[in-house]
Amino acid sequence: MKKLLILILSLVLATGVANAQIWETAKESAKNKVNNKIEDEIDNGIDKGIDKVEDGFERNHNYEDDDNAEISSLDEIGEWRNYTFIPCFDIIFYDMPGAWEEIGEEPSQWDIVKGKVEVKDYNGINVICLQEEMPEIVPDMENAKDDYLPESFSLEFDYYRPAGGHHLSLFFYDRKHQEANGNTEIKIGYNYVSVGSVKENYNGTSSYSSEAWAHVAIYFEDGELRIYMNEERVIDMDNYSADPSGITLQAYYATDKEIYYLKNIRLAVNEDDFSRQLQKNDEITVYGITFTEGTSDLRKESMGSINKIYSLMMKDEDLEFTIEAHTDNFGDDKENKKVSQNRAEVIMNVLIQLGVDKKRLKVKGYGESNPVGDNSSEAGKAQNRRIVFVKK
């Protein structure tokens, strides 16, 4: 296997993908690690992290398909190098949707306002399918009739717009359980985002007739509204006058041929301040570093939080961390511990390639052994899937 990986690395290097000097060092480091591991099994923990980076070289993802969410090679990180989005801290709603959902049935964590909505399989993973009759969905919240959004919150989701599709609408109130409160409709199109009369373009699909997945990230705090499409900050308003109270998602003019998909929806509240956490607790709990389910494949939107950690370490050269990775209880406990160890090592490796001295970093994978949330709920499981940077 290692010989095959060496061959793959050689082929990748030979094709001229060395367009980013910082990542050339990563590739050579990974190659050297493979050779060292063949000769000697010492430093086994770091080697496992490098293995995960090598695995990324084997994938060749299309930026406009679902796999654009993952970092498939070290070169691709350049698009997200300046990403700044960091989600809020307390997760109050999360839906993948899970593998236990029944295909063809309504998603269990949502209320259907109108239209046809069901769980479908997309390339082996479950997604929420919105089709026919301009479908609308709202999160199934216990306090849905109340204002469940505080002064600061974040909303993230992956969104598929079909070729020829119109736009996805977002309303900051629950259109099934709450009264309209003057909130402006937010429209997400193939290459634009609009908030009322404000409309900004982003580097989306090449044309209206193109289909694509995109990662949407939204942050609101006391009248300040920021909307990111993939790595771009598209909307930056400091005078959003409406008072958000809930969430509604609508697929505008969806049909049985123009079907919209959603997945990885995460709603969190309360601003996350890394510096304040570090000062108060000598550690930073991070929810913005995420991986593809059951793997150590780092998702691109993780770079917002990684960039912030990198910035803190560059400002304080004495700052050293043990990177602790935690999972929920889904799956085998031994496998979860192994995956968490690999995830911690992948994060360490990225920070090293960004310029952090490896002597300042250690890693530890805890798997599912130290939960902080209730594993019986999806929000609780999402709270347990976390990365903690513990000051040494």
The strand pairing partners of 265, in sequence order, are 95
Nearest to 323 by CA among 391, 392, 385, 388: 388
Model-wide pTM > 0.85: no
What is the length of the chain? 392
H/E element, 387? strand 386-391
d(CA 156, CA 327) in angstroms, rounded, equals 20
Assess if residue 40 is contained within a domain.
Answer: no
**Whether residues 295 and 383 fall in one domain:** yes
Provide the residue type at 279 as one letter. Answer: Q
**Whether residues 232 and 322 fall in one domain:** no
The count of other CB atoms within 10 Å of the CB of residue 14 is 9
Q: 296-316 burial by CB neighbour count: b if 16+ within 10 A, else e? A: bbbbbbbbbbbbbbbebbeee
Residue finishing a domain among 215, 246, 269:
269
Alpha-helix residue ranges (DSSP H) falling in 174-295: 274-281
CATH number of the domain within which 259 lies: 2.60.120.560
**Whether residues 213 and 336 fall in one domain:** no
**Whether residues 208 and 301 fall in one domain:** no
Residue finishing a domain among 269, 303, 325:
269
Residue finishing a domain among 224, 243, 269:
269
Q: Does the bond joining 97 to the residue before it have cis omega, within 30 degrees of 0? A: yes
Assess if residue 105 is contained within a domain.
Answer: yes
**Whether residues 105 and 212 fall in one domain:** yes
> pLDDT truncated to tens, each residue of the chain (392 aa)?
444 444 443 433 344 433 444 444 444 444 444 344 434 443 444 444 444 444 433 333 333 455 556 665 556 677 788 999 999 999 999 999 988 899 999 999 999 999 999 999 999 999 999 998 899 999 999 999 999 999 999 999 999 999 988 899 999 999 999 998 777 899 999 999 999 999 999 987 767 788 999 999 999 999 999 999 999 999 999 999 889 999 999 999 899 889 999 999 999 999 889 999 999 999 999 999 999 999 999 999 999 999 999 999 999 999 999 999 999 999 999 999 999 999 999 999 999 999 999 999 999 999 999 999 999 999 999 999 999 999 99
Assess if residue 76 is contained within a domain.
Answer: no
Give the total number of structural domains in the chain: 2
User: Helix crossing, 2-14 with 44-57: angle to 10°?
Assistant: 50
**Whether residues 249 and 111 fall in one domain:** yes
Q: What are phi and psi of 297, to 5 degrees?
A: -80, 110
CATH number of the domain within which 320 lies: 3.30.1330.60
**Whether residues 109 and 145 fall in one domain:** yes
**Whether residues 128 and 224 fall in one domain:** yes
Alpha-helix residue ranges (DSSP H) falling in 206-320: 274-281, 303-315
Assess if residue 384 is contained within a domain.
Answer: yes
Decide: 52 and 325 in contact? Cβ < 8 Å: no
Assess if residue 16 is contained within a domain.
Answer: no
Domain that holds residue 349: 274-391
Assess if residue 78 is contained within a domain.
Answer: no
Assess if residue 145 is contained within a domain.
Answer: yes
Assess if residue 247 is contained within a domain.
Answer: yes
For residue 30, what are the CA distances in angstroms to 41, 100, 221?
Answer: 15, 37, 41
**Whether residues 145 and 287 fall in one domain:** no
**Whether residues 282 and 229 fall in one domain:** no
**Whether residues 278 and 386 fall in one domain:** yes
**Whether residues 193 and 255 fall in one domain:** yes
